Structure 1
């Protein structure tokens, strides 16, 4: 299976881009991964692509440009409408399919039921790529419900989910959250990382990712079909 993979979330602002920035900081140079958000809304100096570029200080070669970019911070279908435009899902899927054998982290827009158009939802795009998926959820109250619903919707549509990853503050709920989601969700917890307590320079952020992200290599091993540091042939 392809080593390109999708990162989706249990909703908006749950930590997809933070997860993506940690993955890139830790693994992009070592395994030659690129970051790509094909549909980007809320374009600004701090949009998701530029955020990851800023926190890592990686060269442009580690990033692919969005296929569609819209200024309005809203669902893709609405942001496109605001600019008298419309997303063509076939164009997006064809471009993803043409690069499916590259090492690319593809970040989705919002949650899985976010509309790309008025007739096409995010999960449909993910399903048609047949790429592996990591579900990112918050570590805070409510994550059991949101994560289980997301996992159920994906798995019932035969979408290959490799696991879920929680981001956010470490609290008394987190171990129970992880256990319950694994029990009922049918997929493993790939880990948890808290947000840094202070603003970090790019070198400090990379060090933070090295120390606190994917500490048991569950994410990278699942994506690349590896054991330890070696490929399985």
Structure 2
């Protein structure tokens, strides 16, 4: 038995894939976690799965194939229509439920209100799957508002939130940002990691993840030992 969890962000390109790369680099092999970008938009060769595969140099067995994959770099509801594909939320939900008790990191597309179809939002899929969520926010100016809005949207729907994690450029506001969000948002801050100052090789990235990600083990211990059964 394991525990799948869902990684969402306060917006697009906020750092979900960076967080997922760090998590996989540090914990995939030791805890047998797999990565799953359940809906991928944009060129598959430049998708998040391939990025994490190259960044971490993990074997293919640690990666699951997206349930839906679109070449169009847009919201899933638009990309699917452009490519003549019917995206079925029930199929997505069934696939998620199958993996609910496995050690799987599920990365969403964009933020919680990204439409998967014309009338089905990502947040509804998260709610119906009942997967616990980690919210990824930025270290930069504006993150208090964006992260609190996302946390409120999730908790007001009784979606289990494990906590939030901040990533981004080193910012003198980041410590106060994290403390303020934790105080006002009703969810624990699981940590903070700044972007590396230069591009790293896979081996260098593994070292970076080991030394700079989840240094207090808040993320992994919360996932593996939740207070309540979801």
- Superposition TM-score tier, normalisation by shorter sequence: over 0.9
Kept in 1, the 8 Å contact 2:170–2:195? The answer is no
Pairwise CA distance, 1:2? 5.4
- Residue 43 of structure 1: aligned partner: 43
Pairwise CA distance, 1:107? 0.2
Alignment of 1:20-169 (within 5 A): 20-169=20-169
Kept in 1, the 8 Å contact 2:14–2:137? The answer is yes
Pairwise CA distance, 1:198? 1.0
Cα 1:156–1:2 change in 2 (3 A) is farther
How many equivalent residue pairs? 227
For 1:45 and 1:137, locate their aligned partners in 2 and report how far apart those are by CA, in whole Å: 26
Kept in 2, the 8 Å contact 1:77–1:86? The answer is no
Kept in 2, the 8 Å contact 1:7–1:105? The answer is yes
Pairwise CA distance, 1:86? 2.2
Kept in 1, the 8 Å contact 2:7–2:16? The answer is yes
Q: Please report the TM-score for the alignment, with normalisation by the length of structure 1.
A: 0.95
Cα 1:4–1:40 change in 2 (3 A) is same
Kept in 2, the 8 Å contact 1:151–1:185? The answer is yes
RMSD: 1.3
For 2:51 and 2:45, locate their aligned partners in 1 and report how far apart those are by CA, in whole Å: 8
- Residue 16 of structure 1: aligned partner: 16
Kept in 1, the 8 Å contact 2:44–2:70? The answer is no
Unaligned runs of 5+ in 2: none
Cα 1:53–1:38 change in 2 (3 A) is same
Pairwise CA distance, 1:196? 1.0
String of CA shifts for 1:61-101, please: whole Å, max 9, x gaps.
Answer: 00000010000111000010110112100001101111111
Q: Please report the TM-score for the alignment, with normalisation by the length of structure 2.
A: 0.96
Q: Which secondary structure does the structure 2 equivalent of 1:126 belong to? A: helix
For 2:163 and 2:71, locate their aligned partners in 1 and report how far apart those are by CA, in whole Å: 32
Cα 1:154–1:112 change in 2 (3 A) is same
Unaligned runs of 5+ in 1: 228-233
Pairwise CA distance, 1:46? 2.0
Pairwise CA distance, 1:226? 7.5
For 1:166 and 1:94, locate their aligned partners in 2 and report how far apart those are by CA, in whole Å: 30
The runs of 4+ residues in structure 1 deviating greater than 3 Å are: none
- Residue 212 of structure 1: aligned partner: 212
For 1:194 and 1:136, locate their aligned partners in 2 and report how far apart those are by CA, in whole Å: 13
